[in-house]
Copies of this chain bind each other. A is one copy, B any other.
Amino acid sequence: MRDTTSELLTRSPRAIDVARAAGVSAATVSRAFNEPDKVQPHVRQRVIAAAEALGWLPHGAGSALARRRSLIAGALIPTLANGIFAAHVAALQETFAREGISLIVSVSNHDPAQAMRDVQAMLTRGVEAIAVVGEDFGDAIFDLMTARKVPYVVTHGFSAESRHPTIGIDNFQTFQEITQYLLRLGHRTIGMIAPTQKNNSRVTARVAGVRTALAEMGLAIRPQHFCEGPWSIQFGRESLRAILAADGPRPTAIICGNDQIAFGVLTEAHMQGIAVPEELSIIGFDDDPISAHTTPPLSTVNIDRTLMGQLSAQYLLAQLQGGTPALPPPMTATLIPRGSTGAVHP
């Protein structure tokens, strides 16, 4: 038994309340919003006015149940601590929002088990599609999405060999090109400082790209010139110190897995009184806003992560509309030579 009076004060209005206020049936209210042409203009106006007066908003769960559409999408990302993912999430959110789709964000912290829980939670919320950063979660996650017929796309790296749809740059090729750029500048002793490869096949591809380009010239990274660790400024500094302390010839150029590491290397070079780029060329990856303003300005590689988010969302949206969209071609990364790289000094 309901106390009608108090309920009117308490509960959010339902479509039926709007219907009564407008003197129509609930069906017409639904149509007025979802299939506007199917209801006469003056009726529609009355309905809309009533909805506004009552402050009615459609109830997503009811609607989702009846329509079998949640109007929710999901994004699974390894971390938000790194700014590069933030732009991506923002672009996803905005592109989906234009189509009336809300975005649930989950952060896995690079933990496959957490990622699995995140995906399950998203599926329970009824997400219609999921954008996933990287594909280093184990197969279970992808099998689950496939089984539930939820379209997904792997972002932040294009890979023709992947068994998943991927959108992004070709990490292998991009780092090949970075290496070739340094080779053209005459560098023959090249070091590399990369983020951890574990659970991150993008990094693995990058390292392979460097090694391949070097091998084509009969060169290789000396073990003492290769460092792997966290993508932090601190690690960049430590790594350069280690490299300088090692036996054998010093590298004349260092490829950094991202700009943070490069900042560390640059800073440490300053400290040690090593001239950049005369004695040491440094190149980063990401084109952090600060990179243009370091001294010297950091040479790096720019990726349009907003575009990447848009492409990813559009690809998923096309699938939701029943299409079988073609995967966009690999995105192009732009090498931005600035002051931290130069010809090798004779």
Contacts and interface: CB of A to CB of B under 8 A. Distances in A.
Interface of A: 12, 55, 57-62, 64-65, 70-72, 79-81, 83, 85-87, 89-90, 93-94, 97, 100, 102-107, 118, 120-126, 144, 147-148, 232-233, 237, 260, 263-264, 267, 270, 289-290, 292-295
Given A86-B83, A87-B81, A147 B59 contact: no
B61 A65 contact: yes
A270 B295 contact: yes
Given A65-B61, A102-B104, A90 B97 contact: no
B106 A105 contact: no
Contacts of A94: 107
Contact of A126 (B61, B80, B89): B61
A275 B290 CA distance: 21
A60 B126 contact: yes
Contacts of A72: 104, 125
Given A233-B289, A233-B290, A263-B293, A80 B90 contact: yes
B263 A290 contact: yes
The copy count of this chain in the complex is 2
A81 B87 CA distance: 6
Contact of A121 (B61, B100, B237, B295): B100
Chain A facing B: main interface SS:
helix
Nearest to A266: B293
Contacts of A58: 124
Nearest to A270: B295
A294 B290 CA distance: 11
A202 to B, nearest CB: 19
Contact of A83 (B57, B83, B118, B147): B83
A172 B126 CA distance: 43
A121 B104 contact: no
Contact of A122 (B79, B102, B237): B102
Nearest to A288: B290
Nearest to A75: B105
Nearest to A79: B90
A46 B137 CA distance: 29
A70 B12 CA distance: 15
A290 B290 contact: yes
Given A12-B148, A270-B295, A289-B260, A105 B93 contact: yes
Contacts of A267: 293-295
B102 A121 contact: yes
Nearest to A94: B107
A123 B58 CA distance: 9
A56 to B, nearest CB: 10
6 contacts: A72-B104, A81-B86, A93-B105, A102-B106, A233-B289, A270-B295
A89 B105 contact: yes
What 8 pairs between A and B have smallest CB-CB spacing? A61-B64, A80-B90, A80-B86, A86-B86, A60-B125, A61-B61, A61-B65, A267-B293
Nearest to A259: B290
Contacts of A70: 60-61
